[in-house]
Amino acid sequence: MLILRKFVVFILVVPTTFSVSATQMEKKDATSDLYFDPALFQGKNLSEATYLRLSQPGSIEPGSYKIDIYTNGTYIERADVRFVLQPDGTVTPCFDIKTLQHAGIKFDSSRLSEKQKNTQCVELKDVSKSGVSRFNRQQLRLDLSVPQSEMINLPQGYVSPENLDAGASIGFINYLTNYYHVSYSDNDLKNQDSAWLSLNGGVNMGAWQFRQLSNLNWSQQQGTRWQRVRSYVQRPLPAMSSQLSAGELITAGRFFSGLNYNGINISTEDRILPDSMRGYAPVVRGVATTTSKVTISQNGQQIYQTTVSPGSFAINDLYPTSYSGDLDVEVTGADGRTSRFSVPFSAVPESMRPGVSHFDLAVGKTRDSGEKSLFGDLTWQHGLSNSITVNSGMRLADGYTSAVVGGVYGSYLGAFGLDLTASRAKLPGSDYVNGWMSHISYSKTFQPTNTTLSLASFRYSTSGYRDLSDVLGLRGSFSNDRNWRSASYQQQSRYDISMSQGLAEYGNLFVSGSLQQYRNSKDKDTQLQLGYSDSLKNGISYNVSLGKQFTDTGSSSRRSSETITSLSLSIPLAFTDNRVSSVNSSWTHSSSSGDQYQTSASGSIGSDQTLNYNVGAQHSRNNSQTTINGGLQQSTSKANLGINASRGQNYWQASAMAQGALAVHGGGVTFGPWLGDTFALVEAKGASGAKMFNSKQSVINDEGYTLVPSLIPYRYNMLTLSPQGMADDVELIDNEKRIAPLAGATVKITFKTRAGTALIIKATQENGQSVPLGADVFDSSGVLTGMVAQNGQLYLRTDKKDDNLIVKWGENTDEKCHLSYHLSSTDIAKKFGKKTAQCRSQ
């Protein structure tokens, strides 16, 4: 219907643009008015008043149209707007109250008449004294020009809480499984088999949301172990710009150490802020010498596992956990060797806009932290001005008190952050100890030199300062007669620096480093990295890096260090549609394991690029071993599947993975790709094969459903369904929806479809003239099914073998007629019919 209506508008526009007679051209030059020449239309079914109205710029026939609405040049939404005929012959738009509110126009709805409220037809002049509307019929765009004094002062990107959608009652589960096998030809080595299954999902009931994260880990040597990581309920509170959570939670860790606890939390929901007024997890980088299993843990819990190919790898899709606690990374190679390293992970200082606040309140009982204890956290941040942000907080627990005060000052010299934290703690076997900790940070981008000092920080603690996590760990270890160790326990100082220097067309230079010092002769840990990267105009890129890590206890006999130098080169290639995306080569030298040489090729097969592959080979000079490897990854509408295999000296390795999701709803069970916390279930009955523009993997299944894996919470999301791939006997009545979901919402979107035989009827009246252009066509049930195009042709799709249609081009009795049709078995089989019929007055 919408496409046909646009077509009718278009054929009315063309004569307006191009048909002007010689005499009328002179008039146009004098008055700049367009004239609609009636001679271009055959027949006399349109009145003179219609011709005159269509000759005016921006004119349109009365009716309802789906158009784009702009207010003062800013896009608002695409909505159905009615255009009504005024007594003076002009056609003007009228709006429903919700559309005017979306447009940001300030008005008092109580002052509208009952007729306007009931008919939902309010003109711009009724709510704005100086407002002007301009309609562009070629683009189907309506511009509203309204003085700022008559507009609601809202930031760009603002979504009213009343327009947020809590979604439907839907249950879902994300799954990630990985199976890893290694076989050795040496009889002294046992074959290794391990499997990993991660389940992350929940159930939504209105605005209440239940979430659960758990995993199953199996190995041939250690058996099966089930671990429930987190289980909690949450509810967004958009009216308060916050969110409530209860259950097994993790503290935010912005100013105090991260803690696992059972309790409740209410905190500011930063995502509800508009884009013009506004998380963090680090990228884990490393080098795998063979096809390896990478396991990442934080605070003693496994949070991630995957299989990587030989060479450099980067993991940037960690599931959000805590803002505090270094990440422990374990790389297990197919050759049996294991390497470990840690990635520093701590919150960075945040500047806040003037007048914006952030609070976080957590109350509960700690878990997985040694001795359990009741505790309470309260932190508050507030932007005083463009330059100053103040931070404050307090933590209370059994035998423990700490408080923090500080802030951020931003100027042309950079952003300086300073936080001072004092603690008082009761330690096992001793009295209270007091201490303090200072944290100073700095960040700045020097634009003249294109230098970015992304984070430079310094932390210093006195001997009496204690984090609550260390206090609880000490108490638990003391009662079990064990020693307590952690990255923060007895830490004296810590330095972190990261700098990037852009060299224009000559690439980029970066430097990073960290130094941690401890008391009581505990190891000193130092990490340094220097690198250079560049991309050439032909797409070739290369990277050179030098890294050094060493631990020093003050005794030269116990000092250990490792230096890693690497050089990598990437060359893009293309061979038609079945192409190699790139060829990558690298050389890595380690002071402990010698030289490693690696070459790989990776790419995609097919025009949709859903099948990806990689093949490669690597050689270790230290043990004169060469390994070859390969893998395939297939993305489907129901899951992502992958296999990897490699072979080296005295062993071969293979692994397989599957990642996807399923949603349980009133219509059954729908499978799809991995789902974000906020997603959509799309229903389009009969539209099997149709694809969502928003997601390549979202395809309507045979039951009429698909999953859109990710929506942006607290923002308007436009979901569009493409008819490409649908059956010929089905059409979409609407193919676009706009939704603004709450965080964590599982939204159900329904697209209406119409199934049946496509039918074109050449209709004439009893006097022999064609049925008027633009007339509406209704079926016997009174449902609008089509519109008359030029030369009396009307199009409709029907599932009825025969019917009596009503054609109307006005409100008078002589401005409508009736016609009947009958579809033969051949028409139904072809899914298309073409008829000629007379439209009778009775």
d(CA 496, CA 28): 72
Question: Is 528 part of a structural domain of the chain?
Answer: no
Q: Coil, strand or helix: which one is 531?
A: strand
- Helix or strand holding residue 719 (H, E): strand 717-722
Percent of the chain with pLDDT over 90: 27
Q: Do both 635 and 709 map to the same domain? A: yes
Q: Coil, strand or helix: which one is 117?
A: helix
Q: pLDDT band at 359, cuts 50/70/90?
A: very high
At which of 324, 343, 362 does a domain end? 343
Mean pLDDT of 338-356: 67
State the residue for tokens 């046909």: 4
Q: Do both 114 and 197 map to the same domain? A: no
> What's this model's pTM, rounded to 2 decimal places?
0.74
Q: For residues 100 and 117, is the Cβ–Cβ distance under 8 A?
A: no
Q: What is the pLDDT of residues 648-693, one digit of tens each?
A: 888 899 999 999 999 999 999 999 999 999 999 999 998 899 999 8
Write down the mean pLDDT value for the chain. 81
Mean pLDDT of 741-748: 94
d(CA 627, CA 651): 10
Question: Is 218 part of a structural domain of the chain?
Answer: yes
Q: pLDDT band at 394, cuts 50/70/90?
A: very high
CATH code of the domain in which 814 resides: 2.60.40.2070
Distance of CA 143 to the CA centre of its chain: 30
Q: Do both 193 and 90 map to the same domain? A: no
Q: Do both 742 and 619 map to the same domain? A: yes
To the nearest 10°, report the CA torsion of 299, 305, 307, 313.
-40
Which residues neighbour 792 within 8 Å (Cβ) at sequence distance 6 or greater? 762, 763, 764, 770, 771
- Which segments of 185-337 are extended strands (E)? 192-205, 208-219, 223-237, 242-250, 260-268, 284-288, 292-298, 301-308, 311-315, 327-333
CATH code of the domain in which 325 resides: 2.60.40.3110
Structure tokens at 661: 């999701």
Closest CA to 804 of 778, 774, 765, 830: 778
Q: Do both 817 and 715 map to the same domain? A: no
Q: Do both 189 and 51 map to the same domain? A: no
Question: Is 771 part of a structural domain of the chain?
Answer: yes
pLDDT at 18: 34
Helices (H), ranges, 124-215:
none
Structure tokens at 542: 């290369």
Q: Based on the structure, what is the number of domains in the chain?
A: 4
Question: Is 545 part of a structural domain of the chain?
Answer: no
Q: What is the pLDDT of residues 41-59, one digit of tens each?
A: 544 455 455 555 455 555 6
- Angle formed at CA 744 by CA 738 and CA 750, multiple of 5 degrees: 35
Q: Do both 701 and 738 map to the same domain? A: yes
DSSP for 227-253, please give it: EEEEEEEEEEEGGGTEEEEEEEEE---
User: How is residue 109 annotated by DSSP?
Assistant: G
d(CA 149, CA 130): 10
CATH code of the domain in which 216 resides: 2.60.40.2610
CATH code of the domain in which 69 resides: 3.10.20.410
For 372, left (φ over 0), alpha (ψ -120 to 50), or beta? Answer: beta
Counting DSSP H helices and E strands in the chain, the numbers are: 7, 53
Q: How many angstroms separate the Cα of 632 from the Cα of each of 8, 178, 372, 611?
A: 50, 14, 47, 7
d(CA 836, CA 839): 10
Q: Do both 762 and 750 map to the same domain? A: no
Beta bridge mates, 322: none
Which residues neighbour 423 within 8 Å (Cβ) at sequence distance 6 or greater? 400, 401, 402, 434, 435, 436, 437, 464, 465, 466, 467
Q: What is the pLDDT of residues 491-545, one digit of tens each?
A: 888 888 888 888 888 889 989 888 888 887 667 788 888 999 998 887 889 999 9
Q: Do both 601 and 700 map to the same domain? A: yes
Q: Do both 762 and 803 map to the same domain? A: yes
Mean pLDDT of 260-288: 76
Question: Is 534 part of a structural domain of the chain?
Answer: no
- Helix or strand holding residue 442 (H, E): strand 432-446
Q: Do both 189 and 327 map to the same domain? A: no
At which of 109, 126, 152 does a domain end? 152
Q: For residues 1 and 787, is the Cβ–Cβ distance under 8 A?
A: yes
Question: Is 273 part of a structural domain of the chain?
Answer: no
Q: How many angstroms separate the Cα of 244 from the Cα of each of 84, 213, 233, 259, 265?
A: 47, 18, 8, 18, 6
Structure tokens at 415: 């952003």
Q: How many angstroms separate the Cα of 803 from the Cα of each of 397, 444, 782, 806, 818?
A: 77, 73, 12, 10, 10
Question: Is 598 part of a structural domain of the chain?
Answer: yes
At which of 754, 772, 807 does a domain end? 754
Q: Coil, strand or helix: which one is 433?
A: strand
Q: Do both 52 and 176 map to the same domain? A: no
- Helix or strand holding residue 26 (H, E): helix 22-31
How many other C-beta atoms are found inside a 10 Å radius of the C-beta of residue 425?
24
- The residue range of the domain holding 830 is 757-838
Question: Is 454 part of a structural domain of the chain?
Answer: no
d(CA 395, CA 159): 35
For 162, left (φ over 0), alpha (ψ -120 to 50), or beta? Answer: alpha
Q: What is the pLDDT of residues 2-43, one digit of tens each?
A: 444 444 433 433 333 333 333 333 333 433 445 555 555 544
- Angle formed at CA 115 by CA 113 and CA 118, multiple of 5 degrees: 110
